[in-house]
Structure 1
Amino acid sequence: MSGKRHFLVAGPGAAPPAPSAPPERWLQAFADGQWSTWATLQATLRAGDTVWVPVTLPGWEARVRELAQQRRDVAVVVLSPVPHDDEGLRALNAGARGYVHLLAVPAMLREVEHVVRHGGLWAGPELVQRLLAAARTVLAHAPAAARSVADLSVLSEREAQVARAVAAGKSNREVAEQLFISERTVKAHLGQVFAKLGVRDRVQLALLLTDGQPATEPKALP
């Protein structure tokens, strides 16, 4: 993971391991990850870093907003011991690119990091649906000429099936169960979908496929 740096923010004056954060799973995901207090973080950051902020950090929302405004070249992910939509919306509104469970498994933490580092947005399926509902309201009042049509002809039949399921708000596991394939296969197809359609995350994909316009049919599998 050369060149990728991760900082987990501890509370003021806390010495690692701090009781407010999950060092074991987080360090399993990012073996070279570093602890940092807010005071020392500012002088340490460089472009491309990822900062993980637990909601147990006093004033976390203001901290995230400050960091997002001052360092647009740094990705911020908020960690919560009890994730819920309202808190997630607050995190995203403050400028976080990701919102995930404090005790997420290492594989998920690495996936979150991959998404946000490439400019995407990570949030739970329920929160994504709320964001989509708000976006659809805006799109409904937008001029038809401003809307884009998703050209699914660039996708294989299976990729299009995955794209539609994800756009409907299903998780990778739910898509796998629906299509009788593995989660690993879903993830691989989704990566191809993002690349071919030029989107960075599930929210952008869902907006592209649910703008009220008919989507071009995908090509058939050979």
Structure 2
Amino acid sequence: MPPERWLQAFPDGQWSTWSTLQGTVRAADTVWLPVTHPDWLDCVRRLQHTQGAAPVVVLSPVPNDAEGLRALDAGARGYVHLFAVPAVLREVEHVVRHGGLWVGPELVQRLLSATRQVLDQTPAAPRTVADLSVLSEREAQVARAVAAGKSNREVADQLCISERTVKAHLGSVFDKLGVRDRLQLALRLSGGDAATAPDGTPAPTEARP
């Protein structure tokens, strides 16, 4: 039986073994795979080669950047704590189902730093910095703070507003600038391409607010 928090998050979800999962998973599904599975990394890769591959979220009891990078490199769309609360699990599912990635803020900063290094090494590449004039003054403040790598809580403390207000502003920023998530926002504000990485593949992205 799945833990109670999973039943609360996904009352219609299915608990499956790896042997049965391979023959039943659909593109419309989201696969949650714990690193406690002995071959979890290979499982992630194999799921990417199934017809209409479903997004995979890797669950870890002790999340760390190195493991998260391995999960993303294998094709996972999310990397989250194994004991995340139901509300977070539902938010992760929403993000990956809409084409984004879910990773922690520290890992986002590592990905962003690596992307910026590549961009700095290709000065001839066209750069389009986001036009913040379409944002309100408060939205622009939130956008800059998030692009600098601050969490919603840190932004709220910095601007003396609630986290709920930060999330509302950030959602509006995403819509107005046409980005899906935090890393795309950071790339747009730094002059990078929010849609693709330097090698032409889809850029890694972080969660919706």
Partner residue of 2:59? 79
Q: Which moved more, 1:171-180 or 1:143-152?
A: 143-152
With over 3 angstroms needed to count, the CA separation of the structure-2 counterparts of 1:195 and 1:84, relative to structure 1, is same
Runs of 4 or more consecutive aligned structure 1 residues displaced over 6 Å after TM superposition = none
* Aligned positions of 1:32-71 closer than 5 A: 32-71=12-51
Cα distance between partner residues in 2 of 1:201 and 1:65: 24
**SS of residue paired to 1:36:** coil
Superposed CA deviations along residues 171-204 of structure 1, whole A, max 9, x for unmatched, are 1111112122222221121111111111112111
With over 3 angstroms needed to count, the CA separation of the structure-2 counterparts of 1:156 and 1:48, relative to structure 1, is farther
- Does the CA-based 8 Å contact 1:136-1:211 persist in structure 2? no
Q: Does 1:27 align with 2:7?
A: yes
Cα distance between partner residues in 2 of 1:29 and 1:178: 32
Larger radius of gyration: 1
> What is the aligned counterpart of 2:164 among 149, 171, 184?
184
Q: 1 or 2, which has the higher strand percentage?
A: 1
The unaligned stretches of length 5 or more in structure 1 are: 1-15, 18-22, 213-222
- Percent of aligned positions that are identical: 78
Superposed CA deviations along residues 25-58 of structure 1, whole A, max 9, x for unmatched, are 2222112121011111122222221111100011
Once the two structures are TM-superposed, the CA of residue 73 in structure 1 deviates from its matched residue by: 4.3
Once the two structures are TM-superposed, the CA of residue 144 in structure 1 deviates from its matched residue by: 4.2
Partner residue of 1:156? 136
Q: Does 1:124 align with 2:104?
A: yes
The unaligned stretches of length 5 or more in structure 2 are: 193-209
Give the TM-score, by structure 2 length.
0.86
- Does the CA-based 8 Å contact 1:50-1:75 persist in structure 2? yes
Superposed CA deviations along residues 92-149 of structure 1, whole A, max 9, x for unmatched, are 1111111111111111111111111111111111111100110001111224442221
**SS of residue paired to 1:56:** coil
Q: Which moved more, 1:93-102 or 1:153-162?
A: 153-162
Task: Name the count of aligned residue pairs.
Answer: 192
